[in-house]
Amino acid sequence: MRKLLSIVAALSVAITLPYTADASPEQDLKDFRAYFKKRFPQVEFNEFGNGVYAIDAASRAQWEAIEDFPPYEVAIENGKTLFEKPFKNGKTYASCFPNGGIGIRQNYPKFDTAKGEVVTLESAVNDCRKANGEEPLKTKGGDIADLVSYMAYTSRGKKMNIVIPNDPRALAAYERGKAHFYAKRGQLNMACADCHVTNAGNYVRADLLSPALGHVTHFPVYRSNSGSMVNLQDRYAGCNKQVRAKDYPLQGEEYRALEYFHSYMSNGIEVNGPGSRK
Amino acid sequence: MTNMKRRTLLKGTLAASAVGMAIGAGLLTPRAVLAAWPKDAFEAKSVDAVVNGLFGSSELEGNDKIKIKVPDIAENGAVVPVSVEVEMDGVEAISIVAEKNATPLTSSYNLGPNTEPFVATRIKLGQTSSVIAVVKAGGKLYSTGKEVKVTIGGCGG
Amino acid sequence: MANTIKVRAKLAGDVTTVKALVSHPMDTGLVKDKKTGKVIPAHFIQEVTCEHNGNVVLTALWGVAISKNPYLSFQFKGAKVGDKLALRWVDNKGESDSGETVID
């Protein structure tokens, strides 16, 4: 708690959104949305789910050309095959998820009150595997990216609906994620918010910075850069690496907390994953 | 005699029965029946050498009937959408050349008699470069190009 | 190598538009593996052919500058709904794959 308060103190100079440790998530979300609405008045709320393509016509045109036949279609197909393949014990992923795992992506991450921790779709997939005697999948790329791509695809059109139950542990996880998002880090001393809130719509060298509102809806993404599918936390790792900050384990507590907060901020925006990005 | 064989192969009555089945049965590797890959053209380091390697001539006539669609600024040099549409009759081949790539020839397309003079693909650009469409029609060569800026640096990497 | 080709063919008026997406690394031979420091050898599709009713509609000759997981689109006349379209590729290692679709 003391650590959190010292981070808050350090942050009070750095950011432009009102940040108080005892503001509620609901108030945070209101402020977040108001900030982006003011910064990008021409962008309709749901369009924020398209990130930079909602704010830059030239890159949007290239994105639309790729979306005409996007490489992530291969990931969706492969993901479906993986999703439907039974485990050695005969059960399938459907047995671990509400609604058989179809059309549920918008509810993740969720706070599992029984386990007392944040569960992401990726960690739920691996929990399912472990519960059924299978080895967990690598937490980035490959099969897990394809599986989550398929599951995201079945949720297209459904609005992000992250819930923070009235449980101090859930609130603590949310606050931890929020602290991570606003904390300056790494040799370059930059916070997620520096680029994606304060400088959303500006350029960092050749890259247009995407607004954090609607950030999570289109993940996993097929990146032209690598020609492969990238999960959200893999991108967190990439960003932290680029500001030369401490690396955190994928699907560890820190990134799950970040994803919890980050996803809550996209509530109300339709899932449109998997997506294509540069 | 050779003319007849060639016509048969192209029109397919023989292809469907013998050649097609042979490919299906793995008896004929596709390489044996496809056009030879123009190695010299693909390894050429200048636009002139590319065109010479492909068509035996590098006399290109500028032409505004070639519509080349490329972004002004590539979002990512690894995947640049390109399309070429030609408003001319008798187009036999379309080639896409990236002037500043180490080996400029990206691809070349040989069109069948009923094929429209249009092709679209996604190419890699190593740096800011003109992307040139070279069109062979009615025995002559035409071209048009557009510059695409490629920028690197930031956090997209 | 199987199932690397996704192809769609749609007839509108008298023109069939074909769109294909192929799963292939299209390695240029100019990139080093970050872990081993060794050059990843060139591995790219050199030829793609498309056949309709036994006729070669298009021969695409590709080099290393075609993007990874390549895309191709073209159009031709003379087909009907229900006709079959076959697409084949061969790469510089002699590997190949083929796929078929029905024009709709």
**Residue A20 has what pLDDT?**
57
B25 to chain C nearest CA, in Å? 13
What's the pTM value of the predicted model, to 2 decimals? 0.88
A228 to chain C nearest CA, in Å? 10
Nearest to C64 by CA among C43, C47, C89: C43
Average pLDDT over residues C24-43: 95
Instruction: Establish if C51 touches chain B: CB-CB under 8 angstroms.
Output: yes
B139 or A267: which leads in pLDDT: A267
Q: Where are the beta strands (DSSP E) in chain C?
A: 5-12, 15-22, 45-52, 55-62, 71-77, 84-91, 96-102
CA C102 to chain centre: 16
Please report whether residue B156 resides in a domain: no
Q: What are phi and psi of A60, to 5 degrees?
A: -60, -40
**Residue B78 has what pLDDT?**
96
**Residue A224 has what pLDDT?**
95
Taking the C-alpha atoms of residue B95 and residue C26, their distance in angstroms, rounded to an integer, is 18
Amino acid (one-letter) located at A121: L
Contact list, B101 vs chain C (CB under 8 Å): 65
Local confidence band at A79 (pLDDT 50, 70, 90 cut-offs):
very high
CATH code: domain of residue A98: 1.10.760.10
Q: Which domain holds residue B44?
A: 37-150
**Residue A18 has what pLDDT?**
52
Q: Are residues A93 and A192 in the same domain?
A: no
Q: Are residues B139 and B66 in the same domain?
A: yes
Q: Are residues B53 and B95 in the same domain?
A: yes
Count structural domains, chain C. 1
Which residue, among A207, A244, A276, would best test binding to B if mutated, counting the most B CBs under 10 Å from its CB? A207
Write out residues 55-74 of A within 8 Å (CB-CB) of C.
Answer: 68-69, 71, 73-74
Average pLDDT over residues A256-264: 98
Contact B151 A206 (CB under 8 A): yes
Taking the C-alpha atoms of residue A255 and residue A180, their distance in angstroms, rounded to an integer, is 9
Neighboring chains of A (3 or more beta-carbon pairs < 8 A): B, C
For residue C84, what are the β-bridge partners? C102
Contact B12 C75 (CB under 8 A): no
**Residue B153 has what pLDDT?**
75
**Residue B36 has what pLDDT?**
85
Q: Which domain holds residue A127?
A: 73-153
Average pLDDT over residues C69-85: 97
Q: Are residues B13 and B73 in the same domain?
A: no
Q: Are residues A44 and A149 in the same domain?
A: no
Contact B37 C70 (CB under 8 A): no
Q: Are residues A186 and A237 in the same domain?
A: yes
Contact list, C8 vs chain A (CB under 8 Å): 69
Neighboring chains of C (3 or more beta-carbon pairs < 8 A): A, B
Nearest to B156 among A58, A65, A278 (CB): A278
Amino acid (one-letter) located at A261: F
Residues A140, A224 contacting (CB under 8 angstroms): no
**Residue A19 has what pLDDT?**
57
Contact list, A207 vs chain B (CB under 8 Å): 153-156
Contact list, A225 vs chain C (CB under 8 Å): none
Q: Are residues A130 and A242 in the same domain?
A: no
Instruction: Establish if B32 touches chain C: CB-CB under 8 angstroms.
Output: no
Q: What are phi and psi of C59, to 5 degrees?
A: -120, 120
Contact B103 C63 (CB under 8 A): yes
Tokens at residue A225, please?
């850069």
Average pLDDT over residues A116-120: 98
Q: What angle do CA A228, A246, A178 make, to 5 degrees?
A: 85
Q: Are residues B13 and B79 in the same domain?
A: no
Tokens at residue B78, please?
């690894």
Whether A128 is catalytic: no
Q: Are residues A95 and A61 in the same domain?
A: no
Taking the C-alpha atoms of residue A82 and residue A78, their distance in angstroms, rounded to an integer, is 6
Count structural domains, chain B. 2
pLDDT > 80? residue A10: no
Q: Are residues B65 and B8 in the same domain?
A: no
**Residue C2 has what pLDDT?**
57
CATH code: domain of residue B55: 2.60.40.2470
**Residue A7 has what pLDDT?**
44
Taking the C-alpha atoms of residue C20 and residue C60, their distance in angstroms, rounded to an integer, is 12
A275 to chain C nearest CA, in Å? 15
**Residue C17 has what pLDDT?**
98
- The stretches in chain B having pLDDT less than 50 are 1-34
Q: What angle do CA A152, A157, A158 make, to 5 degrees?
A: 75
Instruction: Establish if B37 touches chain C: CB-CB under 8 angstroms.
Output: yes
Count structural domains, chain A. 2
Nearest to B122 among C28, C47, C67 (CB): C67
Q: Are residues A170 and A81 in the same domain?
A: no
Q: Is A251 helix (H, G, I), strand (E, B) or coil?
A: coil
A5 or B91: which leads in pLDDT: B91
Contact A73 C71 (CB under 8 A): no
Angle between helical axes of A253-264 and A232-242 (0-180°, round to 10): 110
Please report whether residue B157 resides in a domain: no
Write out residues 75-94 of C within 8 Å (CB-CB) of B.
Answer: 75-78, 88-90, 94
Average pLDDT over residues A181-191: 96
Catalytic residue among A128, A192, A195, A239: A239
ipTM of this complex prediction, to 2 decimal places: 0.96
Taking the C-alpha atoms of residue A102 and residue A97, their distance in angstroms, rounded to an integer, is 8
Q: Which domain holds residue C84?
A: 5-102
Which residue, among A68, A72, A74, would best test binding to C if mutated, counting the most C CBs under 10 Å from its CB? A74
CATH code: domain of residue C67: 2.60.40.10
Query: Ranked by mean pLDDT, which of A97-106, A239-248, B29-38 comes out on top?
Result: A97-106
Q: Is B72 helix (H, G, I), strand (E, B) or coil?
A: coil
Average pLDDT over residues C60-79: 98
**Residue A110 has what pLDDT?**
98
Which residue, among A55, A194, A225, A276, would best test binding to B if mutated, counting the most B CBs under 10 Å from its CB? A225
B95 to chain C nearest CA, in Å? 9
Say which residues have a Cβ less than 8 Å from residue B135's Cβ, sequence separation at least 6: B63, B66, B84, B86, B88, B91, B93, B94, B95, B117, B141, B142, B143
